[in-house]
Each structure stands twice: as C-alpha cells, then as structure tokens.
Amino acid sequence: MSTNKVNIHDQVKSIITYQGWTLTRVVKEMNSRHPDRKETTVQNISNKLTRGTIKYAEILEIADIIGYDIEWKFAGTHEESFTSNQTPFGSAERS
C-alpha cells in the first residue's frame, strides 16, 4: 500500500474528527443531499479513502459538509492560490 494513499485516509479522517464529525454522520449527510442516487455507506467511503480511489467530487462534498474549502496553492516562487469554488479565471460553478 502506498504511503500517499494512507495519508489521504488519515488526513481526511483526522480533519473530519477535528471538526467534531464522524464519518457516519458525514455519509448520512452525503446521502441526504442526493436522495435520487444509490446511497453510499461508511464502509464504501472508508475503503475509497484507504485505497486512494475516492473521487475529487466526493472529497469536495465532504469538505463542504464539514465546513471546509479545498485550496490549491502554487508550489513555485510566486504566491497564487485558488479555493475549491474558484478557478484561475474567477469563480467556478458548483454542482
């Protein structure tokens, strides 16, 4: 198992816990936001985090549920960053 994949699992779980949420509660909220699609399970999301196969859209949704935005920071010399609801060209539409 890749160390990077384990870090994704650990990072997401620790941020969820830090914000006072449980993965069970997050998954219930995810399911309530999408009553028209098949429900996901805690086991499903946990497995995706462990394997590193979780979709970016699911990460964005988890972040939104617990009150976070994802920020992209340029790793080079100039300072530039974008949150999950922005693009380099302005605001992005959220679905």
Segments forming the whole domain that contains residue 12: 3-68
Beta bridge partners, 87, equal 90
More confident residue, 40 or 91: 40
What's residue 1's pLDDT? 46
Residue 75 lies inside a defined structural domain of this protein? no
The answer to whether the beta carbons of residues 1 and 46 sit under 8 Å apart is no
Residue 88 lies inside a defined structural domain of this protein? no
Number of domains composing the chain: 1
Residue 91 lies inside a defined structural domain of this protein? no
CA 49 to CA 2: how far, in whole Å? 12
Residue 7 lies inside a defined structural domain of this protein? yes
Give the H/E segment covering residue 26. helix 23-33
For residue 9 the two structure tokens come to 């699992």
Residue 78 lies inside a defined structural domain of this protein? no
Other CB atoms within 10 A of residue 93 CB: 6
pLDDT tens for each residue of 31-64 = 999 999 999 999 999 999 999 999 999 999 999 9
